[in-house]
């Protein structure tokens, strides 16, 4: 009975078929480390796995991303804090955008005064809050026709009650406003307050028309 010699792979040669480098590495990894084989399969095929965010591999933005060619909309309250750097400012005119500071919290508050309404906004640590109310405004009178409050609480809250302020007749006038150039001062009057009884300092400075 004859025996057939066992053919062994010679040293220095692989027992695997003649494959290219990537495929050969894939074959070895599948035998020893199946998980690594999956990783190599991804690398060899040239595909990538996206997360749904911008830059996920495809030419179009992923879900939930913002197209880099567009600008996210800005709310009317946030817009008061993003005014152009060279905005027109007309002195001795009560209409326009004014900036002031809350007395206790020192949070910035801005007011847009228009002929038919008031928009008030405040920047808090948690974001911007604001309210708008209908109004009648002239060079001698600021009259808020309605009252509103934000849904926030504490220092990050705003409440406006109906009011009418006339232009001050003198330095001792009560509950009135005084306009001088780009400075607006409310004498013995608060146009807005918070639930923590915080209210703006009397003087506002004009930022734009």
| pLDDT exceeds cutoff 50 at 57 | no
DSSP state of 83: -
pLDDT in tens, 70-91: 334 558 899 999 987 788 999 9
| pLDDT exceeds cutoff 80 at 53 | no
Say whether both 29 and 121 belong to one domain: no
98 CB-near residues (< 8 Å, 6+ apart)? 110, 111, 112, 113, 184, 204, 205, 206, 207
Confidence band of 46 (pLDDT split at 50, 70, 90): very low
d(CA 143, CA 172): 21
Copy the structure tokens of residue 58. Answer: 């495809």
Q: Which range is least confidently modeled, 47-51, 64-68, 112-116, 190-194?
A: 47-51
More confident residue, 62 or 130: 130
Say whether both 80 and 65 belong to one domain: no
pLDDT of 64: 37
* Residue 55 maps to a domain: yes
* Residue 99 maps to a domain: yes
Say whether both 115 and 168 belong to one domain: yes
State which of 39, 71, 103 marks the end of a domain.
Answer: 71
| pLDDT exceeds cutoff 80 at 35 | no
d(CA 109, CA 162): 19
* Residue 12 maps to a domain: no
Return the ∠ at Cα 91 (arms to 87 and 117), rounded to 5°.
Answer: 75
Average pLDDT, the chain: 74
Q: What is the pTM of this model?
A: 0.64
Domain containing 191 equals 76-208
* Residue 171 maps to a domain: yes
Instruction: Report the DSSP pairing between strands 203-208 and 183-187.
Output: antiparallel
Say whether both 97 and 151 belong to one domain: yes
State which of 49, 71, 93 marks the end of a domain.
Answer: 71
CA nearest 161: which of 127, 139, 189?
189
State which of 71, 96, 112 marks the end of a domain.
Answer: 71
pLDDT of 17: 45
Say whether both 32 and 108 belong to one domain: no
Say whether both 52 and 85 belong to one domain: no
User: What percent of the chain shows pLDDT beyond 70?
Assistant: 65
* Residue 7 maps to a domain: no
41 CB-near residues (< 8 Å, 6+ apart)? 26
* Residue 5 maps to a domain: no
* Residue 92 maps to a domain: yes
Residue 128 CB neighbour total at 10 angstroms? 17
pLDDT in tens, 165-187: 999 998 889 999 999 999 999 99
Say whether both 80 and 59 belong to one domain: no
d(CA 14, CA 2): 29
Residues in the chain, overall count: 209
């Amino acid at each position: 009975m004859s025996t057939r010699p066992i053919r062994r792979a010679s040293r220095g040669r692989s027992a695997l078929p003649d494959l290219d480098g990537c495929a050969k590495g894939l074959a070895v990894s599948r035998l020893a480390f199946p998980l690594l084989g999956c990783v190599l399969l991804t690398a060899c095929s040239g595909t990538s796995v996206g997360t749904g965010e911008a830059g996920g591999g495809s030419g179009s933005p992923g879900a939930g991303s913002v197209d880099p060619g567009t600008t996210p909309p800005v709310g009317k309250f946030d817009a008061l804090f993003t005014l152009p750097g060279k905005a027109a400012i007309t002195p001795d005119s009560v209409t326009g955008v004014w900036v002031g500071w809350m007395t206790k919290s020192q949070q910035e508050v801005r007011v847009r005064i228009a002929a038919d309404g008031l928009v008030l906004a405040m920047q808090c640590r948690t974001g911007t809050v604001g309210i708008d109310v209908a109004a009648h405004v002239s060079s001698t009178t600021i009259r808020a026709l309605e009252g509103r409050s934000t849904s926030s609480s504490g220092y990050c809250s705003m409440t406006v009650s109906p009011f009418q302020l006339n232009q001050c007749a003198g330095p001792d006038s009560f509950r009135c406003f005084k306009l001088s150039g780009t400075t607006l001062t409310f004498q013995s009057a608060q146009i807005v307050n918070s639930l923590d009884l915080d209210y703006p300092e009397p003087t506002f400075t004009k930022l734009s028309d």
